[in-house]
Amino acid sequence: MPTVPVSTEPAGINQGRFIGVLVGTAAFYTVTLLMLRKQWYKKKVPFHSFNDNAEWLQMDKVGHAATAYCMSRGGYELMRWSGVNEQASILTGGLLAVLFQTTLEVYDGHAEGWGFSKGDMVANVAGTALFMGQQYGAGQQVVSLKYGFRKTIFPPYRPNLLGKTTGQQMLKDYNGQQYWLSVNLASVLPVGPDFPRWLNLDVGYSGSGMIGGHENPRAFDAAGNEVTFTRYRQFFISPDADLSRVGAFSPSLQRFIGTAQFFKIPAPSLEFNRIKGLRFHPLILPKE
């Protein structure tokens, strides 16, 4: 069983789709890197590495793994949609993800204030391996990685670092990001025929109180009063749905629903952290 409930092997490569995927992938790769060079990598310095494993309560590392997982899955689905066989599609999806992420790390290695991060590379490979290992071994994605976001109070204190716009904050404000490990229950539990095959259970992770990587610098509110923030980790549990297992969509659409579900579906959740203890969120996590 592949990532989505589409069990038939393609009859052969669809030349039109395959060429479109190749051109689209190359264009995405080129345009994205050009935009990043213009926005983030203007000042080049000699290649160097640095250790950022202790920064941002490791939220950036979890983000690297989740992004690599999503890119691997997306590349795989595009190859399968084009008629490429299962084994080649898995390998291609994984290689594309590693290539893209490694290119960004090399850029970081030449960027002022940044550096090539071995920790980032380990996370990139881990996310790719999670996808490839499941697809090779089980023929499906029993466990997937997902992303969630809500706006926080922290970016105004360091807008250049945490983002000025909502779009920038979705990438830069680790306080607002959550990453979810989503498990399909019917794939791991001995359930009956009437159990919903689409039902997942997610375990989430996030952090809060961070306006600096290792530690927080001094910060002041609009009135000039100094404010302090306590940095802490957050853990969540929440139900979820794997819509690619519903079976109400066309085979082609089902393929891409799995990748599109990189974004966590809003649902009730329980949160635990050492500052506020156990909390219940009815639907969407509150702004902090």
Instruction: Tell me the three state secondary structure of residue 201.
Output: strand
Token code pair at residue 182? 């989503």
Q: How far apart are CA 57 and CA 118, in angstroms?
A: 17
Residue 71's closest CA among 16, 106, 117, 123? 123
Q: What is the mean pLDDT of residues 121-129?
A: 98
pLDDT, tens digit, for every residue of 71-93? 999 999 999 999 999 999 999 99
Q: Count of CB atoms within 10 A of residue 242's CB?
A: 26
Query: What is the CA 85 to chain-centroid distance, rounded?
Result: 26
pLDDT at 149 over 70: yes
Tell me the pLDDT tens digit for each residue of 108-118. Answer: 999 888 899 99
Q: Count Cβ atoms below 10 Å from residue 191 Cβ, excluding itself.
A: 13
Whether 203 and 272 have beta carbons less than 8 Å apart is answered as: no
pLDDT score of 288: 73
Q: Which tokens go with 230?
A: 């306590």
